[in-house]
A and B are shown apart, each in its own frame.
Chain A
């Protein structure tokens, strides 16, 4: 820690140790992490918005960026869904319950759900996109009275690769949010819900969508954006009301390292949430 010229403490790279409370495999390569800050008061004071991310640090291994998957409405712990895809996650997956690592953040601007009060929401997730939007979904469930109609459409390749299967099935049963689940292929023969790509769920809600009062929040693989946006535009959802969260390489999380630049925008500061309007005006966003 150092002092800036104005005498204020600079803590931009300050990391906080967290302890792993629960680990659970979501799919064969994706794991649920529930962690708690070692510094007790942080568990109450750690403020974040759905869509924001943090940076994990394991000295010796390095740092990596992860979306927060828990809602800020539930305090005392934070949750992540993490796929094992690289050098950092290889190491992270070796950690056990009770082990500690460090994190810093939160970073990014996230979803301004406060400003969407009274609106209809269509939340669409595909594959790993369920991880950051789980935070949105649980937040909205906890504050359901603040929103009007809320639809949740989730797509996965097959039941085995579906993330948060228990969470989302329970969500469907709770009926606080109108939940529609789909898989591209059912290789188990036991899938009770829709079969088909996520866009095949739109007919279930389209007659009730009030376009000017709707905000769509989507996250998934690049190919999904293309088709889901087409559906939303067909329903006349305004372009600046189609919100999406994007992924880029990041090293610092605070607009300095340059890796996440898209033209001149830093995904870590101005994103990771962008609107479809942004996408149309910023080349190479998706």
Chain B
């Protein structure tokens, strides 16, 4: 087989989010020992105590960017990493917190929570000036995205192992429907129930539809999505345009914002 030149240095960094993607890595019990031995893990936010951002070959970056301090730290990671991977839907598209991206709403909420007099609470010295949630690609160049809320090991491992082998995984986008049909599942849309499978990137192995739960789109947008037709279909089964867009936006982040032309 392909023999890699060297064991690369990897860093796992976390920003705003539930840290579920880091946790998903730590939960890969069968693969965990190999994870820590097949690459030189120099930094793992959740698994090791804090250090300076090291020089790495591959940076796995989880979470959205919500403060000025995070933005700076992210840019530092980019400078020190050869390959940057956005890990999980928050880092890839902004995550659920991207729903609060609208500037005026964001200000209103800040004031509501922390008072109107413009004084920054003390903790802001620690975390930096808050700003609306954005995917990491808003601030830096991202080489590859591994979405998921959280990431699925069966999707993450083959992409990650290519990277640590000095290879670049080939992109071949397909939606949840493909994996759903691999599982011999019936289609929710045909039963008059909503499901975002046709506009959601695969990788989850259609875990929700296989358990009789509609896809909510947590792996983020599928590149081949046909939004106008999907919206029509969902209207046909009784959802209002507003409901549909709210559902699409939940995990769709910046990509959905572009595709829905910014209207509400």
Contact = CB atoms under 8 A, between A and B. Distances in A.
Q: Do chains A and B touch in the complex (CB under 8 A)?
A: yes
Interface of A: 58-62, 86-88, 90-91, 94
A60 B167 contact: yes
B5 interface: yes
B2 A61 contact: yes
Contacts of B1: 58-60
B2 A91 contact: yes
Interface of B: 1-2, 5, 165-170
18 contacts: A58-B1, A58-B2, A59-B1, A59-B2, A60-B1, A60-B165, A60-B167, A61-B2, A61-B167, A87-B167, A87-B168, A87-B169, A87-B170, A88-B170, A90-B168, A91-B2, A91-B166, A91-B167
A94 B166 CA distance: 10
Nearest to B4: A60
Given A91-B2, A94-B5, A62 B166 contact: no
A90 B168 CA distance: 8
A86 B165 CA distance: 16
A90 B166 CA distance: 10
List 7 tightest A-B contacts by C-beta distance, closest first.
A60-B2, A59-B1, A60-B1, A87-B170, A87-B168, A61-B2, A58-B2
B128 to A, nearest CB: 38
What secondary structure prevails in chain B residues at the interface with A? loop
Contacts of A86: 170
Contacts of A88: 170
Nearest to B5: A94
Contacts of B5: 94
Contacts of B168: 87, 90
Contacts of B169: 87
Contacts of A62: 170
A123 B50 CA distance: 66
A241 B170 CA distance: 38
B147 to A, nearest CB: 19
B157 to A, nearest CB: 13
Nearest to A99: B3
A268 to B, nearest CB: 19
A87 B170 CA distance: 6
Given A60-B165, A61-B167, A91-B2, 13 more contacts: A58-B1, A58-B2, A59-B1, A60-B1, A60-B2, A62-B170, A86-B170, A87-B167, A87-B169, A87-B170, A88-B170, A94-B5, A94-B166
B120 to A, nearest CB: 47
Nearest to A60: B2
Residue picked from B1, B2, B168, B169, most chain A C-beta under 10 Å: B2
A61 B5 CA distance: 14
Nearest to A62: B170
Contacts of B166: 91, 94
A59 B169 CA distance: 13
B167 A90 contact: yes
A271 B49 CA distance: 60
A35 B166 CA distance: 24
A87 B167 CA distance: 7
Contacts of A94: 5, 166
A250 to B, nearest CB: 14
Contacts of B170: 62, 86-88
A123 to B, nearest CB: 34
